[in-house]
Amino acid sequence: MNSSRITYTAPGKIILFGEHAVVYGYPALAIAIDRRAKCTVSSYLSDEEDVVLSTNLFPGKKFLVSSKESFPSSLQAVLFLIKKLTDNFQSNISLQIDISSSIPSSSGLGSSAAVSVALTNSLSSFLGRNYSLEDVNKIAFEAEKIQHGQPSGIDNNVSTYGGSILYQKGLMEQVTVDDISGFWVIANSMVERNTKDIVANVQKNYKRKQEKTEEIFHSIHSIVIRGKEYIKQNKLDEIGELMNENQTLLEQLGVGHSKLTDLLLILKKNGSMGEKLTGAGGGGCVVGLFDNIKDAHSSMKNIKKKGYQAFTAKHTKIGVTIDE
């Protein structure tokens, strides 16, 4: 063990274009945002070796990894990672793992991937394993499969590497941008849903209406290709238009929700340049693009007045990183 305490943080994300289609091998574009998951690993002397886990998902509760008590389903991926990474590790020291995240969970912002990436990096570093980013990304993807069934892998990639990424079939390309000058307002419908179930529903529809669904995916593909160029050139108006186009197609895939429609309307009335759901849909979050922080803030306030949660976010280039 290298150190008595180590902390890593990793970002959440928004998918700008291409969610769902990406599960079928089409490309998608995602950007990392300045909301992060944080994981601290420390040690303490103890007669019994164990790992104690605390997370702000369950405030005030401590989970003993060795206990027979079953872990909640939302922590199965975390449990998997802890067991995998501490396998063969023997000492008379117990580990304490503290996870906290400012990324709302179950809402399409990649919170589980960010937790997995931060946990993998902090725990492996603490145990003296010198993992590359590629290793961290791969291991976090294994955890994502436990959490989400058949994820595309986009969430763990953007959380590991940060920035803007184009992702397709396991391959990721950093889309080089100086900066995206826009501000994002992220509004949470607070309709909790499970990515696994929504992805399974789309698959059911795909099997029933393959030709139509493929057509939708092709249109989404074209949006992603155009979107990539607009992102590089920081063309906010065009990015906004494409977000609206993508939203229409997502509704045709059946992943809309009345609360999301409500939120999209509020964003539009408050001057957003484009707005769409982000992530799996069926609930979760929508995102609106603004060219100035003042409008973004007033839109956020108006959304909150209607009883929803909302916050502003900026693009970040910083993927998983040590917190010193």
Q: Which residues are identified as catalytic?
A: 155
- DSSP-derived secondary structure letter, 315: B
* x/- map, 119-158, ligand MEV, by CB under 6 A: -----------------------------x--xx-xx---
Binding mask 194-233 for ligand MEV (x = CB under 6 A): -x---x----------------------------------
Can you tell me the distance from the alpha carbon of 297 to that of 294, in angstroms, rounded to the nearest whole number?
5
Q: Which is nearer to ligand MEV, 98 or 144 (CB)?
A: 144
Smaller CB distance to ligand MEV: residue 264 or 285?
Answer: 285
Q: Site mask, ligand MEV, residues 51-90, x = CB under 6 A? A: ----------------------------------------
Between the alpha carbon of residue 2 and those of residues 42, 81, 130, 307, the distances in Å are 11, 20, 11, 47
Under 8 Å between Cβ of 143 and 201:
no
Which has the closest alpha carbon to 307: 186, 189, 184, 185? 189
Taking CB under 6 A as the criterion, the residue among 15, 81, 158, 253 binding ligand MEV is 15
Query: Site for ligand MEV (CB under 6 A): which residue of 6, 10, 23, 51?
Result: 23
Q: Is the dihedral of CA 21, 22, 27, 30 positive or negative?
A: positive
Tell me the backbone φ, ψ of residue 169, rounded to 5 degrees: 45, 55
* Strand stretches in the chain, DSSP E: 5-17, 28-45, 51-55, 63-64, 93-101, 164-168, 171-174, 183-188, 274-278, 285-290, 309-313, 321-322
**Taking the complex as a whole, how short is the minimal distance between the CB of residue 297 and ligand MEV, in angstroms?**
26
Q: Write down the least CB distance from residue 212 to ligand MEV, Å.
A: 18
Distance CA 198, CA 204 (A): 10
Least Cβ distance, residue 190 to ligand MEV (angstroms): 18
The 3-state DSSP class for residue 263 equals: helix
Q: How far is the CB of 199 from ligand MEV (least distance, A)?
A: 5
Residues 167-196 that bind ligand MEV (CB under 6 A): 195
Question: Among residues 114 and 296, whose Cβ is nearest to ligand MEV?
Answer: 114
For 255, residues 6+ apart whose C-beta sits below 8 A from its C-beta are: 20, 198, 201, 202, 277, 280, 281, 282
Per-residue x/- mask for ligand MEV, residues 271 to 300, rule CB under 6 A?
--------xx--------------------
19 binds ligand MEV per the rule CB under 6 A: yes
Q: Please count the CA atoms within 13 angstroms of the CA of 81 that sit on its side-chain side.
A: 34
**Contact between 22 and ligand MEV (CB under 6 A)?**
yes
Binding interface with ligand MEV (CB under 6 A):
15, 19-20, 22-23, 108, 110, 148, 151-152, 154-155, 195, 199, 279-280
